[in-house]
Structure 1
Amino acid sequence: MEIINLIKSRPFIQALAAIIANANIKGFFTGKIWRGKSKLVCVPGLNCYSCPGAIGSCPIGALQAVIGGNKHNFSFYVIGIIIFFGVTLGRLICGFLCMFGFIQDLLYKIKVPKLKIPPKVDVPMRWLKYIVLLVAVIVLPKFLVNQFGIAPPYFCQWICPAGTLEGGIPLIMKNEGLRSMLGFLFNWKMGVLIFIMLTSVFTYRPFCKYICPLGAIYSFFNGLSFYQMNVAKEICNGCKICERKCNMNVEITKNINSPECIRCGECKKACKKGAITSGFCLKSRKPDSEFQGQM
């Protein structure tokens, strides 16, 4: 029974997803990027293409490659696969399948006093990830191009901490030629990575809450994805233990399928009444706002 519970646990699923997405283990020893046909396929979570272990492509990296390239004005595959992931799972991907989300979870487990971001700061900052998506992922690659009509992947190049951790550091450790070329850009990216990792120790998933453009995309699908969460109005007593347990600060009794919910299931485990359920459902539900109005 303990083994079954372990297999069903979120950390186990997160670790398994990270291993599967980075199954080219020998790449970490050779310092070479996998270039097999599987790289034509996007994985659901943020996982750097340049990671020596990566066997698939990052959706954000692929999206920027299309927008910043001069071959295609629109990629039905890249847009379609992102929509497919969003409609099927929503931000369940953030909670269970994203490697960098898993790393932030592990850092937050370090036992130090935690910081609670005041709502008047936290709420406005949540909009930053949509600005990052619009500016760094879409606008700059579309319009800030070189003489050949090609743009670099600005988000990957200047912001993405997952790329530095999974791709930059392992490649530099194994390639002397790359180490000799280090300069301002790498130092900047290392600073971004260190800052996010340090803040992840003191506050829950700051990258997911405030910066991640992939989380921003999936958030649009949370309310309509096939995977949904629900609060049973006839069972809930309004104690709001679930909301106090939620590290993403979701107002669960108002809108459990909030764009900020990563489907981690902590609210469900905390509910003593068993009022919270989750799973795949193709039928429409009553919105939780109807429940709120009847309390």
Structure 2
Amino acid sequence: MRKRIFIQFLFALWANSYFGFLIKGGIYTGKLKNLCFPGLNCYSCPLAIMACPLGVLQHVMGTLRALPQVALKAALYVLGTFLFYGLFLGRFICGWICPFGFLQELLYRVPSPKISLPRATRNIKILLLIFLVLLLPLVLQGEAGYGEVWFCRLFCPAGTLEAGFLNLLIEPQLRTLIGLVFYWKTFLLGIIFLGSITYFRFFCKLFCPLGLIYGFFNKVGLFRLRWQEEKCIRCGICEKFCPMELKIPKELNSKECIRCLNCLNSCPTKSIVLNTSFRFEKELDFIPLSVAEMRYETRRKETRGTPSRKNHSKFS
């Protein structure tokens, strides 16, 4: 756990390591800014040295109708970026690299009552991806014929924190431009901070479109978690230590897993391992039951006088 937090800290520090703004002013515009940082880190932050993939995706959608040829070339770059990061890292990015994910984990350490929310609330990020990231930038055009980056403009808490407040701090003349949108995003940032104190990775679980995109690669990417049935004693410790509240092994490689590896490290029999392979294996990637459900099935069959069967595939 400490190792992961230290690595998160190093990535957050590296992603925001440009201090030239103290001398030159403005944001970094060097060659690294042409590349996307894997995690959620605002392009407009004076400290940021790379671009945000979510911001670039919105720009592509916003220019698709006005400059289709240019936008299609940019779309190939964005698609390649997501494929590369998704296939080779997946949601390891969320669990080990993303600066805003790191900040949420620090906030969760603040002493407070901790809560749990219905799983259905996690579908909010699907709506944000569809409407604010993809549809609205494409459909709603400004006077110049380009779409807005609506997620960045109306919702992104990383942008509010890293670009909004920091730019206001170092460039006081910008304060005259403060309006309703800034107050709304400040209010939203406060809600997300309060939520992160009481609910582990509040923004990641409910709102983050970037994590959702990487989550689609969890079943097909290079790194996948594997459950070894012959070693498992059905103790349920893995589920107790899962901060994303997943059903294990059923959801080991679901889109919600941030690859924190708590389940792997907490397992007393080492029945969960991390494999590196692009090969799809249905019996390992689609396990129908969780450990708790397996225990229930075993007890139910024993109550009926039916010997429990060992292979998990027979529980379905």
> TM-score with structure 2 length normalisation?
0.86
**How do 1:86-165 residues align onto structure 2 when only pairs under 5 Å count?**
86-117=86-117, 122-165=118-161
Deviation at 1:277, TM superposition (A): 1.1
Structure 2 match to 1:166: 162
**SS of match in other structure, 2:224:** strand
Deviation at 1:279, TM superposition (A): 4.3
Structure 2 match to 1:276: 272
1:65 alignment partner, one of 19, 36, 59? 59
Q: Which of 1 and 2 has higher RCO (CA within 8 Å, sep 6+)?
A: 1
Q: What amino acid does structure 2 have at the position aligned with 1:46?
A: L
Deviation at 1:288, TM superposition (A): 4.7
**How do 1:1-295 residues align onto structure 2 when only pairs under 5 Å count?**
9-27=3-21, 32-69=26-63, 70-71=66-67, 72-74=70-72, 75-117=75-117, 122-285=118-281, 286-289=284-287, 292-294=312-314
Give the whole-Å Cα distance in 2 for the aligned partners of 1:275 and 1:59.
35
Give the whole-Å Cα distance in 2 for the aligned partners of 1:288 and 1:242.
18
Q: 1:294 to 1:191 in 2, by over 3 A?
A: same
Give the whole-Å Cα distance in 2 for the aligned partners of 1:150 and 1:207.
28
For the 8 Å contact 2:108–2:197, the answer to whether it is kept is yes
Alignment deviations for residues 237-275 of structure 1 (CA, whole Å, 9 cap, x no partner): 111111111111111121311110000011112111111
Give the whole-Å Cα distance in 2 for the aligned partners of 1:251 and 1:147.
49
Give the whole-Å Cα distance in 1 for the aligned partners of 2:197 and 2:78.
33
Consecutive unaligned residues in structure 2, runs of 5 or more: 289-310
Alignment deviations for residues 61-115 of structure 1 (CA, whole Å, 9 cap, x no partner): 0011111123334210011101211111111111111100000000011122211
Q: What amino acid does structure 1 have at the position aligned with 2:313?
A: G
Aligned residues: 285
> TM-score with structure 1 length normalisation?
0.92
For the 8 Å contact 1:28–1:52, the answer to whether it is kept is no
Q: What amino acid does structure 2 have at the position aligned with 1:287?
A: D
**SS of match in other structure, 2:250:** helix
For the 8 Å contact 1:24–1:55, the answer to whether it is kept is yes
Deviation at 1:127, TM superposition (A): 1.1
**SS of match in other structure, 2:274:** strand
Structure 1 match to 2:294: none
Q: 1:147 to 1:182 in 2, by over 3 A?
A: closer
**SS of match in other structure, 1:289:** coil
Q: 1:176 to 1:126 in 2, by over 3 A?
A: same
Structure 1 match to 2:304: none
Q: 1:256 to 1:264 in 2, by over 3 A?
A: same
Consecutive unaligned residues in structure 1, runs of 5 or more: none
Identity of aligned residues (%): 40
Give the whole-Å Cα distance in 1 for the aligned partners of 2:22 and 2:233.
52
**SS of match in other structure, 1:32:** coil
Structure 1 match to 2:305: none
Give the whole-Å Cα distance in 1 for the aligned partners of 2:93 and 2:275.
14
